[in-house]
Structure 1
Amino acid sequence: MSEIVLCGATGDLGGRIAVRLAERRIPFRALVRPHSDTAVLRASGAELSVGDLTDPPGPERALAGARTVVTTANALGRSMAGARDVSIERVDRDGNAALVRAAEAAGVERFVFVSGQGMTAAMVDLVPFFAAKRATERLLQASSMRSVIVRPAAFQEAWLGPESGIRPEKRLAVIYGRGRTPLPYVAEDDVAEACIRLATMDDPPGELDLGGPEALTRHEVVDALEHALGVPMRRIVVPRRALAFGARALRRRRPELASILGIALSMDVGEEVGAEGLRTLGIEPRPASAHIAARARAVART
């Protein structure tokens, strides 16, 4: 019987957690949607429980006998990719709320929830994704379970990559706001490792901020790519005012796009978070400069 239940195991971060659990021979059960690609999970030997966060019987079956829940599940990526069967409201707000209630009813002892940075009161009002995260945090803090809220900084893989507008192969970079705020971009592998340690250690903290070891501004990221490639990149600036206007205007009609704009704004006005959180867990975090250098090498080979 698996005592750890992992939600979001077919996503980027959840998939990394699943791989690590399997490598360490830690039994776990993954709650997966009916039409998810589960080939990697099956090959790893994971126990699968088919269901949906928004359908109560699914979480109830998955949580039978579980002591710990780890969830990275969210709808943002799939919604931005055009999926019609998910939404921030349905998955991130209602789905996570149902999961918390089901876990409490099942007698789960520990609940590790991946939240996010930059969730000031103003940003929670502006960004639907943040509002859903904050609502889940409050449910957990009021529950009888031992909650562990993980708040990673911006992921290197997402926010230093093409999906955020940094396209060195096209000599193009999108700058959000002023682009002068240092950010401790964190590697997804480091956050995955942190989640496993928080799920399995004897006395985890109730909240933990996770950042990388070096803080770079958006302009410094592009500077580094230009230096590595030896070519200039065109910088397209999206002003803070445009980010805020877009987030407000799209909040109801396109909450996923509003959230991306709002998150970009929060990163440009936010405060720096250091690498102490990862190091307290015995993890030496990967620097953003290493990720940037790897991207430059990949571009140079093409």
Structure 2
Amino acid sequence: MNNKFIQRLCLANSVGMFLVLLMGALVTKTESGRGCGDDWPLCNGKFVPAYTIDSMIEYSHRFVTGIVGLIVLAAFIVVLRRSKRMDAKIHASGVLFFTIVQAALGAMAVMWPQSSMVMALHFGISLLAFAFTVLLYFAIREEFGAEKANPSAVRPGPSVWNPGNVAVTKGFRKLVWFTLIYCYFVVYLGAYIRHTESSGGCTGWPLCNGEVIPELSGATGIVFMHRVGAILLFLVIALLARASAKSDLPKRIKLSGKWSLYLVTLQVFSGAFVTLAFGSDWYLLASLLHTVIISCLFSILSYLGFIVLPAGTTKRAA
């Protein structure tokens, strides 16, 4: 098993989890979650279900999740056996853990009724699993890419904790982690809108039902809260991008801050697209685009949060 194979396995891990994330959103948006009835892992009591749109969407999601689960398990075993980096092992463990939790929540959602608040967690768990696959891929690429260029760069021995190992102020580190946690909260609000079927609570954009502050009740209150949260997220990320543009910070921090600002801007406009497309044939495409952008944004913020973690006295392995 060569280094290139390990890197490709971790890349497949990340791509596969992204597909699971996207297909889960498709199941929710098309209301296909009951396409296989109350059966799990079978679909309406069959290994190969009868062809209906709902059953095929739901069963395809289950099938892809099963395949990706095997890739996740393989990556976990390989990383634990071959990697010398503690952070890579933590990332691999995080992927496996959240994949199991995601599968368990999905099974419970099929077999037993759950509240909208619990259902909204499904997307958040999938997002965490995807973010960990991205972190794992970058850690493995750095470790084995360095090893290929310089075989003595990563020596055998105890696993090392190897985050970004960059010098940043405590204030900047707190800002990064506040942004990451707050972003997750805004994502949860968005998922909650889907599972409470509140998407039509605000018509028009940027105003909500033609008002700056609408009546804050029911679906309108939920959607308006998400809009306010999204605006505040844009402002926080703009502040983060400005702080990360300082000349004394590494290039990857500057790029992460810059791309975070680009993506949150796109997310705002994709949210407008979702609102304006509601009830039309474009609504599904707009919703999936919204999901793709927020997944990329959260992953970049997760990467930024990780690389600003203090490394203590441990030297970089590579």
Q: Name the structure with the higher strand share.
A: 1
Higher relative contact order (CA 8 A, sep 6+): 2
TM-score, normalised on structure 2? 0.28
Q: Name the structure with the higher helix share.
A: 2
TM-score, normalised on structure 1? 0.29
Bigger CA radius of gyration: 2
